Structure 1
Amino acid sequence: MEPIPLIVSTDWLEQRLGDPKLRIVDATTFMDIPENGEAPSVYSGKASYKEEHIPGAVYADLLHELSDPESQLPFMAPPRDHFIKKMTELGIGDNNYTVIYDQGALVENPVVAAYWASRLAWQMQYEGFENIAILDGGLPKWKAEARSLTAIPGSYSPASFTGLRRPELLATKEDVEKATGDDNIILINSLSPEDYRGETDSYPRKGHIPSSVNVFFGSHADMETKRMHTDAELRKPFEKIGALDPGKKVITYCGGGIAATWTSLILNKLGQKNVAVYDGSLNEWASDPSCLLVKED
């Protein structure tokens, strides 16, 4: 099977609806951020999936079924056997290609429709799945273009899978500690500039990991058109920090390892293949008082 692009358009997907080798996955998870500054609440998008989704799509529950239930941190990658079992039960395996989408990251402000889709794509890549794409603009763009929707649940026959894990795609806290003193590794904080500077109370402690630079994940798409920026535009912030240098390794992080996967995917799209995601991100780092954080005035 020929490789498919990392990002596909709504036209591209619509032309392939009904292809027996295609698997469409709705990975929506919602985040509700209170205006009073309290911690955000996160909940499954399964109810929204049941109301409407792209024809043929199945639902992948990142919150309840595809995160490590034994971890004290949210959304950590689950044990390999567990993840593979869930994905093959959905019909995803060796002999198909997969397009993942979501309905937008936030309840009131989608920010970018690919935030959760990229998380599932990264987990699949980490475990060795291939031929995975993200739908540019996700369901918001699909709906805005008046493309077909259904409430009928998608269903595929169980699949077989023989791929191998790619451990180089995941960074641990120890990897990040070493990276802070290594000029050949670029640490990218994918959160908002306010989070990066330590102006918010979103995490156990304020600030960013030493030596890390800020490239906000929400800046990669146009909020009106729901489309990603051109490669030329996407390149600018990464070229500025040297992240596209093929001789460098890049580690992306955010708050809980979700937005960091979107940054990782963009870097892959731009040709930087040596990228790892710090899965624990600030949820883990800021909870450990021995790990340094930097705040900016």
Structure 2
Amino acid sequence: MKTLLEVLQSGTDYLARQGCDEARATMQHLMAHVLHCNRTALYSQFDRPIQEAELAPLRQLLKRRAAGEPLQHLLGSTEFFRREFLTDARALIPRPETEELVEMVLKKIPAHPVRVLDMGTGSGIIGITLALELRERAREVVLADISPQALDLALENAMRLGARVSTVQTDLFENIPLEKAAPRPEEAEPPGSATEEEEQGAVHDMRFDVIVANLPYIADGEKLDPEVMRDPHTALFGGPNGWEIIERFLARARDYLNENGFIALEIGYDQAATVTQIMDGYGYNYIEVLKDMSGIARFPFGYR
């Protein structure tokens, strides 16, 4: 019977031979997952014998990882902004750069309560994180996506983490009206005391103070790592040049902003000049593109 250390080393060697990046860290994650402990706890159990009942699921996970299945899908979750989010093939795996976007957005949100729209929400990481970080300052947070499967995953994450959000299935702004009728009051006013419009329900503005979007920005046909291709293609490819969906978004997003509201985007490494030109053409003000930790102009902001 092999010890934990022996299994860790043999699994690491196997993954390395299969060309997996960060083979040892990956093996640590898989072992911690199977043994129901954290990675740190492995170091205090190196001499522990590994039972066959524990080896069988570990072997299956190793085969799937060697075949290119993302580690996050195997574990069923990933960490984002110090929280564990469910991850699977229904939505894009969160990238580290997106955490930087959330930090930047939080710094720019005013002190008063705000309405937030997370367009192209995927697993819900941006909108849910903003809802949890803003707390009482989040007047409303809406998660929007074209994929019903992604929205199901986002709702699962919201319920697990206790985030107060709503969802809408939509192709960009197609199913998001600029105005909506308020619910009718439970008790009607005396006859003749209300206008016709009030009888039909007051109309509420549906504009937002903050719209954040991590939309597809990879050019159609661009060759990607096989592991990345496990993500939904609708969450990856943004058109012949990569920025076409972003342009469709920018064409309408400004109309959905309150005065002094802003949009924030995550874009490709070489798209800053094109995207800022598009933003300027659609009338956004105070446009700036902030850099990620690698120095890449990655995050355009624009105001109404």
Q: Normalising by structure 2, what TM-score?
A: 0.25
Bigger CA radius of gyration: 2
Quick one: higher RCO (CA 8 Å, sep 6+), 1 or 2? 1
Q: Point out the structure with the larger helix share.
A: 2
Question: Normalized per residue, which structure has more strand?
Answer: 2
